[in-house]
Amino acid sequence: MKRILVGIKRVVDYNVRIRLKPDGSGIVTDGVKMSINPFDEIALEEALRIRERGAAEEVIVVSIGTAEAQQQLRTALAMGADRAILVETPAGADSPVEPLAAAGVLLKLVEREQPMLVILGKQAIDDDNSQTGQILAALWERPQATFASKVELTGDTARVTREVDAGLETLEVDLPAVLTTDLRLNEPRYVKLPDIMKAKKKPLEVVPLASLGVATAPKTKVVRFDPPPQRQKGVMVKDAAELVAALHAKGLL
């Protein structure tokens, strides 16, 4: 069966302004709205569109996290994924699963499910690492096409347009391959109420992290969280001439 594996991460919602714990030990997440990482939602949307065009038969969503991540997997099922897998980490574990370990976990699932494509977000908006897709592609010894803004499948290859600093780059990769999504690949669909009801009946498998035999001991340790330095409010000028004079005075023109 032609499958697409999509990774999703439960993160603090995009619209929430994060707060640091007063002792600098972390980010406040109690009572904060959690959502699917927005880039992962784009990854899922792309997988669904590929399936709807008939180029794939099954879309599997995977998350690595605590039991609470089942909420995000249910949302993904409501969007249209066929089944879900939660690789469950113990509740209260404060050492995060690092990208190297996350990619190792995904590789185990790739070996089991044999997907034609793995689509991930280009980065999670919490840790901003932007590593997991590339690491998975390396461990799997398969192509990577990161920061994708357009994906065309033809037989056993994909032609992917990537958003790079110079503009747009196009790569052709053999399948299977790993794609990571940029913001403008698509606009994810909204979930409708009947789909939420239907999603409750779709399969959601829970796999304990420890059962996969992947080395997950962290290799890095965050020792402190600090707020970013704040900029000070400057001066107001009354017109263009005054602005140009001020910039001249500061040696900026």
Judged by CB under 8 A, the chain residues 68 through 107 that form the site for other proteins are: 98-100, 103
Q: With respect to other proteins, which residue has the nearer C-beta, 192 or 248?
A: 248
Question: Which one of residues 165, 190, 201, 213 is an interface residue with other proteins (CB under 8 A)?
Answer: 165
Helix (H, G, I), strand (E, B) or coil at 11: strand
Q: Which stretch binds other proteins (CB under 8 A): 42-50, 85-93, 110-118, 158-166?
A: 158-166
Q: Is residue 155 a contact residue for other proteins (CB under 8 A)?
A: no
Q: How many CB atoms lie within 10 A of CB 13?
A: 14
Residue with tokens 């039991």: 67
Smallest separation, CB 57 to other proteins (Å) = 23
Question: Which one of residues 153, 183, 191, 207 is an interface residue with other proteins (CB under 8 A)?
Answer: 183
Q: Which of residues 20-49 bind other proteins (CB under 8 A)?
A: 20, 27
Residue 90 is given by DSSP the state: P
Residue 167 β-bridge partners: 164
Q: With respect to other proteins, which residue has the nearer C-beta, 187 or 205?
A: 187
Q: Is residue 115 a contact residue for other proteins (CB under 8 A)?
A: no
Question: Which one of residues 22, 54, 167, 194 is an interface residue with other proteins (CB under 8 A)?
Answer: 167
Smallest separation, CB 253 to other proteins (Å) = 7
CA distance 235 to 247: 12
CA distance 179 to 134: 9
Q: With respect to other proteins, which residue has the nearer C-beta, 3 or 162?
A: 162
Q: With respect to other proteins, which residue has the nearer C-beta, 54 or 165?
A: 165
Q: With respect to other proteins, which residue has the nearer C-beta, 167 or 194?
A: 167
Paired tokens of 146: 């990161």
Q: With respect to other proteins, which residue has the nearer C-beta, 201 or 231?
A: 231
Question: Which one of residues 32, 93, 197, 253 is an interface residue with other proteins (CB under 8 A)?
Answer: 253
CA 225 from chain centre, in angstroms, equals 22
Q: Which of residues 193-252 bind other proteins (CB under 8 A)?
A: 219-228, 231, 233-241, 243-244, 246-247, 250, 252
Question: Which one of residues 25, 114, 154, 170 is an interface residue with other proteins (CB under 8 A)?
Answer: 170
CA distance 248 to 242: 10
CA distance 173 to 38: 25
Residue 115 burial (10 A CB sphere; 0-12, 13-18, 19+): buried
Sign of CA dihedral 63, 96, 102, 49: positive
CA distance 199 to 196: 5
Q: Is residue 162 a contact residue for other proteins (CB under 8 A)?
A: yes
